[in-house]
Structure 1
Amino acid sequence: MVDVVEDNPGLSILQHGYSHLSYAPVTERKCELGSHRPIVTITDELTRGLQQLREMFGSRFHAVLVPPWNRLSLDVVDSLPASGFVGLSTLGPRSSGSVELVQVNVHVDLIDWKGGRKFAGEERALGQLIDHLRLRRLEKVDPLEATGVMTHHLVHDEPLWVFLERLLSFTHEAGVRWCSTDELFR
């Protein structure tokens, strides 16, 4: 994995939780970083993970938390700066949130998780993309937040890869500039 990152200068590493295990009761939605365990246990794990990733990937690692299932408790959010995190990324328009954390979220989920873990389809993906851009323009969400597209490369099917290739090609030709992790989480 380290070799792949070293060989691809456009890749950045962010922290996706610690164990990707849900500690929520089966009657609730999955959540690793919720209020189901002591905050000290969660912060210890996240800090350990942050240190490991920093050692493995050096400057390619950014101390940004991307919580599994896009869920975490407010106590965890509040603990992130003291644990060494500078950023947070979840799903949906960002809120005013913590002044100590840079929050840049994703707004387009390309996977239909309930419909077979496959590409959600061009109509849904483009609809989410256009909707966030429209809400930014109307200032109904933070107009300065970049519009983020969430990928899940381990479950991408062929239609999703084709869509991404077309989207990136189209946006490049239209003069859209995709921001780097360094730019987003300064």
Structure 2
Amino acid sequence: MTETSVWQPVIDRLDRLRAAGQRVDFWLRDDDAVEPTPALDRLVELTERFSVPTTLAVIPAHTNGELSHYLACRDDISIAVHGWAHQNHASPAEKRQELGGHRPREIVLDELSRGCSRLRALHPSSFVPLLVPPWNRINANLLGGLPEIGFMALSVFGPERKPARNAEDAKASSLSAFPRLRLINTHVDVMDWRGTRGCRDHREIIRDIVRRLDEMNLDDEAIGILTHHLVHDESVWEFLSRLFDLTAAHPACRWRKVGDLIAR
């Protein structure tokens, strides 16, 4: 199977949108940034080459002025709050969580408030009031407190309109009870976390993109691509390069800053 045929389903969907006078929004969220690294250099160079805005989910407890200095003149990078220390507080029998129900609510919200203030101070021009929970998990009991400490939006993984399964393992699938908090999720993960811990098969990632294109509300939703620059293998970089090349110039596509998605 040739590379063109692998990508043909995406090309076909986008061409149909163009023919119908429609357009789809994409956004890129990259997790676990702390400091300048060669991997971050590579991500920044790649996204700048194709003019793709990037949202870096930064871990507040572990970052400092080096990252803020490195990003100071990069207008297309937004900074979101990636929990506090990306520390697991769940038991070995549970899925990993920093923002679960394992500690008092006040303590968790205080950490998030400090994280918000710290990143706002370090990145005054690029900070966005977006919370990205480590491991994409947050206890539903915390949601109501997020606007009070400065957050306007939340980003986890999965479709925004998916019904929540239960309160304890809330994926923040519906925020109808919290109108002051906007949900802007990621939907396509390039990493094979349960297998090779490298790039997923490109055909599988493309199927996820096509599925999202078929299911989403074009007027109010976007396709969120999730990456982790620190652990990318060559196959991830190849995939992203091809994705950006295909979409950045296509008239039916628009790569958006997350701040624009929060505001609309």
The TM-score range, normalised by the shorter chain, is: over 0.9
1:125 aligns to 2:205 (yes or no):
yes
The 2-side partners of 1:107 and 1:143 are apart by: 17
Q: String of CA shifts for 1:11-58, please: whole Å, max 9, x gaps.
A: 110001001011111100000001111000000000011110011000
Aligned partner of 2:126 in structure 1 is: 60
- Distance in 2 (CA, whole Å) between partners of 1:106 and 1:90 is 6
Structure 1: 5+ residue stretches without partners: none
Q: Give the TM-score of the pair, scaled to structure 1.
A: 0.93
**Aligned pairs, number:** 182
* Contact 1:5–1:12 (Cα < 8 Å) also in 2: no
Q: Which residue of 2 aligns with 1:75?
A: 141
1:26-175 equivalences under 5 Å are 26-95=92-161, 96-97=174-175, 98-136=178-216, 144-175=220-251
Residue type of the partner of 1:167? L
Distance 1:158 1:77 in 2: 37
Higher fraction of strand? 2
Distance 1:16 1:89 in 2: 10
SS at match of 1:12: strand
Please list the CA deviations of residues 50-77 of structure 1 after superposition, one character each: whole Å capped at 9, or x if unmatched: 1100110002111100000000001111
Structure 2 alignment gaps of length 5 or more: 1-66, 162-173
**RMSD over equivalenced CA pairs, Å:** 1.3
Give deviations 1:65-96, integer Å, cap 9, x for gaps.
Answer: 00000000011112101111011000011144
Highest relative contact order (Cα 8 Å, sep 6+), 1 or 2? 2
Which residue identity does 2:227 align to in structure 1? T
